[in-house]
Structure formats: C-alpha cells, structure tokens
Structure 1
Amino acid sequence: MTLTKKLLCSFLCLLPLAQSAYAAGGIAMSATRVIYQGDKKEASLTVSNRNDKEAFLIQAWAEDVSGNKKTPFVITPPLFRLDPAKDNVLRIVHLGAPLPQDRESVYWINVKAIPSTSEASEHKNVLQIAVRTRLKLFYRPAGLPGNANDAYRQLTFTRQGNQVVIHNPTPYTLSFSHLAFDGRDAGRVGMVPAKGQISQPLPAGMQSAATATYSVINDFGASSDTLNQPVKS
C-alpha cells in the first residue's frame, strides 16, 4: 500500500471519531470576574447550563496566581451535576487566613465542565472534551481608599531602555483591556499589582515612546474610558 493510500485510510478511520466529538459548550458564568468584599462572609458566582439536552459534571476550585490549589478560599459545592437548562450558585468563602488589608489580593476561580455520557453513545467512539473556565477572584479589604474604577487614572509610565515600567500606586490591582505606545499596540500585557509595578517591552522597532494610551477592565468586566498618559524618560 502506498503512503498516500495509508494516509487516506487513516483519515477515513478517524472520521467517525471526529464526527462524534463535541465540546462542553453551553456552560456560562454570571460574571467575568468576582470581587470578594472583605466585610462580607462570602461571594457568589452563578453557573448556568444553557444546553437544553446535555447535563454536565461541574468541578470548581480556587488557585493562587502561581497555580497552587492551597488557598485561603473554599468553593462550594466543589463538584455537582448541572442538568439541562438549570443554574447553580457557587459560594466562595474566605477561610479566615490573614491577607493584606492595605491592598487587593488576586486569586483564580476555576470551573471545569465535563460532559455526560449518554446511553446511546456508551459503545461508540466519542471524544468528550472537558472545558475549563478561569475567572479572576479579587479579595478587596474593607475601607481601601479611593475608588477602584478610578484607580487606573493614577498609573505612571517610565521608559527604561526598551522597556516601559508601569507603576500602580493604588491599592487596587489593574488589568489592561488595551495598551498602546505612540499609537502602536503593546500586545499582551499582564496585571499591574496593587502598590506594585510591571515592565512592558516597547513594540518591536521602537526605541522610545512619548505617550501611553490605555484602558482597563472595571469591576463589571467592561472596558474603562481610554486615557492618555505621558511616558517619562
């Protein structure tokens, strides 16, 4: 058998599997981020199954920014079945371990949706794909000064070589929705930690920049107004 025929045969054998494959679509969250107010006993997140035929097994847990599952938060229920066209509420509870009270702390909420196996597909070649959704969890201590949705106005930008140091003097962690230097898109940008800073490379070929144009993601998951700030040397 020639190589071409072998490849064609392999492809045809895989077709039934590919046609049976489906993703764990239809699972939706009530928010794109969760703000845990420090003076509250818990925060919540609603998980909805918008598929009117398939049930899913839902697994939920918290991680820190390094991916460690040992955190001061517990999510309940950690594992449950979500029937077609149904909702369930996840409760995020702080276990009381000390966290900084002068700034926000950031964690991740993970929600994995595992599709159920029907009796009809039990003896068939079916590729089931578990889909994991990650949302940022911001622990916000009570009494922080200022307004979280205005904090981005206090960012400063300073060029150091081919990098721009972005400094955040506020107690709120900021995530960019867009950043450009002199009109050129800066690409992927990380979070600027509360009372911290990050370094962002200038776009390829740029040796300097005069202006940073940016917006951030607010508490509601939408983009803030666009702002221009000078890039200091």
Structure 2
Amino acid sequence: MKWLYSFAFFLFCQQSLADNIVINGTRFIYSGDAREITVQLSNKADRPALAQVWIDDGNAALTPEQISVPFVITPPVARLEANGGQTVRVHFQGAQLPQDRESLYWLNVLDIPPAPTDSAEDNYVQLAIRSRLKLFYRPAGLPNRTQAIGQMTWKAVPGGVRIDNPTPFYITVTEIFSEVGDESLSHDANMIAPFSQQDVSLDTPLSAGQKIRFMNINDYGSSNSSMAVVE
C-alpha cells in the first residue's frame, strides 16, 4: 500500500511563487467597472502541474467548499503543461459591497504536484504549496489612490505611533525610518484598513514635529518611499 502525506503551506507574505507555478502579480485590483480580471499562471517545471484557485474573505482555514464570496473563478482547477501557462479569469457577481471604500479578499493558488511515477517509491511525501495574495475590490466611484498616502496622519503615542488612514483605500506600511540618521524604527508590515487607525510599536520613541520616512506598497506590489511629520 502506498502512503501519501499532503501538507498545505500557507504563505502570508508578498508571495507570487507557488513551488513551480509562477503568478503574474503579488496583489490584484478589481475595479468596480471591470467585466473581469485575469490572473496568469506559468509552470516553470519540466513536468505538468495542477493548480487549484479560489478566493476567500479572510478566513484562511476554510476550504473552498465552505467559502461564500461574490466572485467566480474560471477555471477553478487548471492543468498547466510543462513550461506552459494558463489564464484564470475572475468575475465579480455583483454583490452589494460597500461603495465608499475598498473591500479586501484573498486569492489562493494551490500548486498540486503529481504523484511519483516510480512504482518502487512505496512511501513518499507530497507537498502542496499554497500562495495567498491580496485581492482588492475597488468601487468605480472612488478617487485616485495616488493622493491617499499624503492624507495619512501620524501621531506619537507611548511606545510607538498611531497611523490614521482617512481614505477609502487599504494602505500597507512595510517599514518606518527616522529622518535623522535614517534609523529603522519598525520592520513589521502593517495594513491599515480604510477609515481606520492603527497603533504601531517602534524601537525608538517619536515626538511631535519629528520627520519620518516610511515605505508603502503601491497597486503593482512595488515599494515606495514617502515622508511624513509626526503630530
């Protein structure tokens, strides 16, 4: 009898590589006026690969069968030939989502490896690698996101800083530096939801009037540097 052990690894970082399957982005934006968006999967291996794709609303522990989201994936399971690719289409079903802010979902890609072909391998370990990427539903009526970073405010609080995001966009801050000496104050990534505040612990206290530099992630998954003055 052959024994098969399958493990799904949850990759919560900015990850666009699921073992042998490469994904054409680290985050995806679904504009409210779009008919659909596409996700390109590429198989970099010299053997066929199987990918299962689904979307969740934040609960990573649920299986695709347990999830109810307003999106349809076509195809939900795709075979990728050796060194080939597959286009996956994401279609929004028109559910009543907030129109004054973004909604956050997660795109999952599970790379399912084939079983060994060598019949002599009676016992083997099979690893199923799962990538989990941000999917933002962005209503068509929202303003341009390029102004959002400058609208955030930073207030010194005991042990850190309070970041206020008064915009309708999710904003991810990946690192904070002091202007003087460019000292790194925080290495933790923090995603601030629309119209919300978040306290971030810092290695060095800040004071009102102090200038800081921070890194933030744009729509394309790239990191931008911005400046702010602490209140």
Q: Flag whether TM exceeds 0.5 (same fold).
A: yes
User: Which segment drifts farther, 114-123 or 82-91?
Assistant: 114-123
For the aligned residue pairs, the C-alpha RMSD in angstroms reads: 2.0
Give, in whole Å, the separation in 2 of the partners of 1:91 and 1:211.
44
Task: Report the CA distance between 1:122 and its aligned residue.
Answer: 6.3
1:112 to partner: Cα distance: 0.4
Give the length in aligned residue pairs.
205
| Residue of structure 2 in register with 1:230 after alignment | 229
For residues 119 and 194 of structure 2, what CA distance do their matches in structure 1 show? Answer: 50
> What is aligned with 1:55?
48
Q: Which residue number in structure 1 is paired with residue 165 of structure 2?
A: 168
Mapping 1:99-178, distance limit 5 Å: 99-120=97-118, 123-145=121-143, 147-178=144-175
Q: Percent identity?
A: 38
Greater strand share, structure number: 2
Q: Does 1:212 align with 2:209?
A: no
**Letter in structure 1 aligned against 2:125:** L
| Partner residue in 1 for 2:27 | 33
Separation in 2, partners of 1:65, 1:178: 23
In the alignment, the residues of structure 2 paired with residue 155 and residue 168 of structure 1 have an alpha-carbon distance, to the nearest angstrom, of: 5
Q: Which runs of 5+ in 1 are unaligned?
A: 1-23
Find the counterpart in structure 2 of residue 65 from structure 1.
Answer: 58
Deviation at 1:174, TM superposition (A): 0.9
Q: Deviations over 1:167-211 (max 9, x none)?
A: 1111111112322346233121321112222111122xx343433
Structure 1 position 134, deviation (Å): 1.1
Sort the Cα spacing of 1:89 and 1:159 in 2 relative to 1 into closer, same or farther, 3 A: same
Quote the Cα distance in structure 1 between the aligned partners of 2:211 and 2:154.
9
1:126 Cα deviation (Å)?
A: 2.6
What are structure 2's unaligned runs of at least 5 residues?
Answer: 1-17
Which residue identity lines up with residue 218 of structure 1 in the other structure? N
| Offset from partner CA, 1:49-73 (integer Å, 9 cap, x none) | 0112x22221111111243632222
- Distance in 1 between residues matched to 2:49 and 2:120, nearest whole Å: 16
Structure with the larger RCO, 1 or 2 (CA within 8 Å, 6+ apart): 2
1:60–1:79 CA contact under 8 A, matched in 2 = yes
Looking at structure 2, the residues matched to 44 and 122 of structure 1 have their Cα atoms a distance apart, in angstroms, of 41
Richer in helix (by share):
1
SS in 2 for 1:126: strand
Tell me, in whole angstroms, the C-alpha distance in 1 between the residues paired with 2:164 and 2:175.
16
Determine helix, strand or coil for the equivalent of 1:175. Answer: strand
Q: Calculate the TM-score normalised by the size of structure 1.
A: 0.80
Corresponding residue of 2:198: 198
Partner secondary structure for residue 135 of structure 1 = strand
Change (3 A) 1:121 1:170: farther
Matches within 5 A, 1:76-115: 76-115=74-113
